[in-house]
Structure 1
Amino acid sequence: MSIWKKQADLKAINALNDGRANGVLGIRISEIGDDFIRAELLVEPRTHQPFGLLHGGVSCVLAETLGSIGGYLTCDEEHNIVGVDINATHMNSVRSGKVIGTARPLKLGRRMQFWAIDIETEDGRPVCVARLSAAVVPNAPKT
């Protein structure tokens, strides 16, 4: 059974992110299952830190992107989601290739949501595990 309350359209979600931090870094939502959301990121010079490894902050952007989009899709039309805390543990370094992030909800409450995000290499080697805490807030009034 699907957890999503809003229609999930990969093309529209990716287009919305173009020109923003996650789009500039090359994060692309690749799959939305019944209870997870997945994205891919190419590890290349624009995502490296000075020593040629995937920048830990980029892993955090990937994690928050997945948790935030997932959270948004689980909110009703009167609410939105904002991240309030992210915790990330970097387990292995990556120099090149692709990483894949998968987010699943730990709890979908009326006021708070908690998401677990696993980032792995294409062959399944763990890169980063993260947890996002997000507040469910009313939509801003339309002006």
Structure 2
Amino acid sequence: MDKELILAKCREMCKSTLMETLDIEFIDVSENYLVAKMPVTPRVHQPDGVLHGGATVALAESVGSAASYIFLNTSEFYIRGIEISANHLKSIKEGDVFAKATFIHKGRTTQLWEIRITDIEDNLISLVKLTTIALPKTK
């Protein structure tokens, strides 16, 4: 596994997308997880000045879908998110949040991810489950 090549590929996918808008950056990968970070600034705040749950879920779906993309044969499949649920446990006003996606289930058709959103001190901000599906590419 060429870690830097995979991270570069993930960064390239972000150009001109929501991930670029939210400043999501992929920072670590291994054989069973992918990590991204997102700065918590007023751009991703809800009106009372804390991280918006929607931005958190966008981060989680971005890292989980990207993980499916890199861990599955995407020359033959499209990856799509089909269900997501999030529990927001702690608020954060500034700094960075980190999303670590790990497999719960790696099926041929569906994949189930756990995405832990933490702060710099590893406090759990949100816990997210994402289901992705691998759809065959048609010719």
The code of the aligned residue for 2:108 comes to: R
**What is the aligned counterpart of 1:126 among 82, 102, 124?**
124
Alignment length, in residue pairs? Answer: 137
Mapping 1:1-143, distance limit 5 Å: 9-76=6-73, 77-141=75-139
Q: Distance in 2 between matches of 1:111 and 1:15?
A: 25
**1:140 positional shift:** 4.5
Deviation at 1:29, TM superposition (A): 0.4
Instruction: List structure 1 segments (4+ residues) > 3 angstroms apart after TM superposition.
Output: none
Task: Return 93-102 or 77-86, whichever deviates more.
Answer: 77-86
> What is the CA deviation profile of residues 27-70 of structure 1, one whole-angstrom value per residue up to 9, with x for unaligned ones?
10001112100001100010111111000001100110111011
In the alignment, structure 2 segments of 5+ residues that lack a partner are: none
Q: Which moved more, 1:68-77 or 1:112-121?
A: 68-77
C-alpha distance in 1 between matches for 2:109 and 2:6: 25
* 2:6 and 2:70 in contact (8 A); partners too: no
TM-score after normalising by structure 2: 0.92
Q: Which runs of 5+ in 1 are unaligned?
A: none
Compute the displacement of 1:10 (Å): 1.4
Q: Cα distance, 1:111 vs. partner?
A: 1.1
Say if 1:92 and 1:118 are closer, same or farther in 2 by CA, change over 3 A. same
Percentage identity across paired residues of the two chains: 29
TM-score, normalization: structure 1? Answer: 0.90
- State the SS of the aligned residue for 2:78: strand
CA distance in 2, matches of 1:98, 1:75: 28
Contact 2:98 2:117 in 1 (8 A): yes
Q: What one-letter code is carried by the residue in structure 1 that aligns with 2:6?
A: D
Deviation for aligned residue 1:12 = 2.8
Over the aligned positions, Cα root-mean-square deviation in angstroms equals: 1.7
The answer to whether the Cα contact below 8 Å between 1:8 and 1:32 also exists between their aligned partners in 2 is no
